[in-house]
Chains A and B, each alone.
Chain A
């Protein structure tokens, strides 16, 4: 009896504290109910998932040669293992320090496995695709743009007029442009700026344009972190006898990166989401794959299934990235040791 009373009081407090709330909630519940019925009905009776089930390998690897599929599989499983290890490893551990290095090594490993070369058959970058290509684009542009962004942020605070102006101009111009335009012109203009003999493939051009774009955003995030550090840190370091390069490298930068970590996570998630724009330029990463599948007469009109499936994948990967970053933040948090 008492329990019933508590429940009714709970309901009254949280769902019907006033007449207005009661009306709003009845209305909302009605809408939720009708939506739920529709969704369940659709999943139960109308949805046909053969666009997903029949093309699962395509979504994962694109048109990568069948005989060499173990290479992207190996790479993705290494990444998954690393995610699990990162999430589960304890905070105070000597091996924890190795994790960033292993994460950096993931990128060359992936490119080596995908492209082949020494010891394994080379595969042209036009055959890369699916989630593998999405991950490859995200990780390699992330790895390229981070140091570039840090350099730009430092350059923006430089005492030399020319460097400061150049970095500022670069950052502002890049931030003013829409990404799709940067990518499109990257494909067109990068070859014009290169010497005659040198040609780089579509994937590399995309990664390059992408990193040049993201670096300007990262630079602003890092600058925010740099500005948040009080000048007393500089003075303390000087009192300890560190020179300006040492101070920057050992005292200022680590703190600045720690402060800007949440913003950098948002950039990383944005980076992953933005790789979908590559499909407009003809790369067959996961979104490009589903675009071409939806144009296939066998799966015509399966837009809803195709997009729901894609949204789920992106949602899953983005949530994982957010989790990883929360984990990293708590590991870097030295405030209450």
Chain B
């Protein structure tokens, strides 16, 4: 009797969900017929007609929409990949610094995390773009014995040119995600019992070697799942590029949809691409996770 009670409830919820979905789909079809749009992906092959400020493979406005989306994807991946690397280093450094006995170092790390995590990423991106990078002088400023230079037009090192938008997005994302990763790493290090620290010290290992060979390998199983979700967040947050005018996949989808009016089709493409990206990141991190847990045994 009691079990049946629950089933009835679930059945009612199920019927409600299905009927709401039915109503929504019905409205969708009515509205699609009314606006005479229908669903079609043929616009993907039409010329895009807009220019993209930044590309790795050459793009002209006469190229089609699908090519524009690919260019956007490459731009996104460029930020995401380097953002992952940079934020990992930053997070590792700040996370370890927080557990350090050196009071100045650990307090600076705490200040960094407390400040960065309580301020929206969008404001930070705006800050990096408008205040830091556009605030640079117009005249290129040489560094590293003139191997590279930096100005408010862009950054150049050994012939590689990076735009200001790219630099601002990369730095802003990495600094923001670095703070969250640092928290994850600190939590992982704290989860290793104090006895392990005392044990390696009594064996006469130095702090650096002890941390690298004893503490971190044991902390990694607790760290990897947390870092995975931070990586996924970084990938999703990279779409804020639109606020500072960097042509990533979302910015280009946005332009495409405004031009063609194909919201549902554009949305489905974006959804599938992000599902794929999430899948790639989480599968890769799953590998890392098994490797890390294997080490523990």
Which residue numbers of A lie inside 8 Å of B, CB to CB? Answer: 14-15, 17, 21, 24-25, 28-29, 32, 155, 158-160, 162-163, 166, 173, 175-181, 184-185, 188-189, 191-196, 243-245, 269, 273-274, 276-277, 279-280, 287, 294, 303-304, 307, 310-311, 314-315, 318-319
Query: Residue A189 contacts which of B5, B238, B267 (CB distance < 8 angstroms)?
Result: B267
User: Which chain B residue has the least Cβ–Cβ distance from A174?
Assistant: B271
Task: Provide the bound-state CA to CA distance between A15 and B17, in Å.
Answer: 62
Residues of chain B contacted by A159 (CB below 8 angstroms): 6-7, 10
A280:B243 contact, CB within 8 angstroms? yes
A173:B275 contact, CB within 8 angstroms? yes
A177:B236 contact, CB within 8 angstroms? yes
Task: Provide the bound-state CA to CA distance between A45 and B291, in Å.
Answer: 56
Cβ contacts B27-69/A at 8 Å (1 or 0 each): 1101110100000000000000000000000000000000000
11 contacts between A and B (CB under 8 A): A24-B102, A178-B239, A181-B274, A189-B263, A269-B118, A273-B120, A274-B120, A276-B122, A279-B122, A314-B123, A315-B115
5 smallest CB-CB distances across A and B, nearest first, come from A273-B120, A178-B239, A178-B236, A318-B118, A243-B2
Task: Provide the bound-state CA to CA distance between A310 and B2, in Å.
Answer: 54
Within 8 A of A (CB), among B249-297: 250, 253-254, 257, 263-264, 267, 270-271, 274-275, 278
A287:B122 contact, CB within 8 angstroms? yes
Task: Provide the bound-state CA to CA distance between A189 and B121, in Å.
Answer: 26
The reply on B13 being an interface residue by CB < 8 A is: yes
Q: Nearest-CB distance from B45 to chain A (Å)?
A: 23
Q: Nearest-CB distance from B250 to chain A (Å)?
A: 6
Beyond A15-B104, A175-B278, list 14 extra A-B contacts (CB 8 Å): A24-B102, A28-B104, A163-B14, A180-B242, A181-B239, A181-B274, A188-B257, A192-B31, A192-B263, A193-B24, A195-B30, A303-B127, A314-B120, A315-B118
Known: A177-B236, A181-B239, A188-B257. A287 touches B102 (CB 8 A): no
B130:A287 contact, CB within 8 angstroms? no
A160:B11 contact, CB within 8 angstroms? yes
Query: Residue A173 contacts which of B104, B121, B238, B271 (CB distance < 8 angstroms)?
Result: B271
Residues of chain A contacted by B102 (CB below 8 angstroms): 14-15, 17, 21, 24-25
Task: Provide the bound-state CA to CA distance between A274 and B236, in Å.
Answer: 13
Task: Provide the bound-state CA to CA distance between A191 and B263, in Å.
Answer: 12
Cβ contacts B93-124/A at 8 Å (1 or 0 each): 00000000111110010000001001111110
A245:B9 contact, CB within 8 angstroms? yes
Residues of chain B contacted by A244 (CB below 8 angstroms): 2-3, 5-6
B275:A17 contact, CB within 8 angstroms? no
Residues of chain B contacted by A24 (CB below 8 angstroms): 102, 104-105
Residues of chain B contacted by A304 (CB below 8 angstroms): 131
A192:B123 contact, CB within 8 angstroms? no
User: Which chain B residue has the least Cβ–Cβ distance from A273?
Assistant: B120
User: Which chain B residue has the least Cβ–Cβ distance from A180?
Assistant: B239
User: Which chain A residue has the least Cβ–Cβ distance from B103?
Assistant: A14
B131:A303 contact, CB within 8 angstroms? yes
Known: A176-B278, A196-B30, A314-B120. A160 touches B10 (CB 8 A): yes
Q: Nearest-CB distance from B75 to chain A (Å)?
A: 15
Q: Nearest-CB distance from A75 to chain B (Å)?
A: 23
A243:B5 contact, CB within 8 angstroms? yes
The reply on B240 being an interface residue by CB < 8 A is: yes
Residues of chain A contacted by B238 (CB below 8 angstroms): 178
The reply on B163 being an interface residue by CB < 8 A is: no
B13:A155 contact, CB within 8 angstroms? yes
A184:B28 contact, CB within 8 angstroms? no
User: Which chain A residue has the least Cβ–Cβ distance from B119?
Assistant: A311
Residues of chain B contacted by A274 (CB below 8 angstroms): 120
Query: Residue B27 contacts which of A32, A193, A303, A310 (CB distance < 8 angstroms)?
Result: A193
Residues of chain B contacted by A189 (CB below 8 angstroms): 263-264, 267
Task: Provide the bound-state CA to CA distance between A337 and B267, in Å.
Answer: 52
A184:B254 contact, CB within 8 angstroms? yes
A319:B118 contact, CB within 8 angstroms? yes
Residues of chain B contacted by A195 (CB below 8 angstroms): 27, 30
Known: A173-B275, A280-B242, A307-B126. A158 touches B10 (CB 8 A): yes
Query: Residue B240 contacts which of A32, A180, A303 (CB distance < 8 angstroms)?
Result: A180
Q: Nearest-CB distance from B120 to chain A (Å)?
A: 4
B250:A166 contact, CB within 8 angstroms? no
Task: Provide the bound-state CA to CA distance between A226 and B101, in Å.
Answer: 38
Residues of chain B contacted by A311 (CB below 8 angstroms): 119, 123, 127
The reply on B237 being an interface residue by CB < 8 A is: yes
Query: Residue A179 contacts which of B5, B236, B264 (CB distance < 8 angstroms)?
Result: B236
Residues of chain A contacted by B131 (CB below 8 angstroms): 303-304, 307
B118:A181 contact, CB within 8 angstroms? no
Residues of chain A contacted by B123 (CB below 8 angstroms): 276, 287, 307, 310-311, 314
Residues of chain B contacted by A194 (CB below 8 angstroms): 27
User: Which chain A residue has the least Cβ–Cβ distance from B2?
Assistant: A243
Q: Nearest-CB distance from B231 to chain A (Å)?
A: 13
Task: Provide the bound-state CA to CA distance between A312 and B115, in Å.
Answer: 10
Residues of chain B contacted by A176 (CB below 8 angstroms): 271, 274-275, 278
Task: Provide the bound-state CA to CA distance between A243 and B1, in Å.
Answer: 9
Q: Nearest-CB distance from B102 to chain A (Å)?
A: 5
Cβ contacts B179-219/A at 8 Å (1 or 0 each): 00000000000000000000000000000000000000000
Q: Nearest-CB distance from A81 to chain B (Å)?
A: 24
Residues of chain A contacted by B3 (CB below 8 angstroms): 244
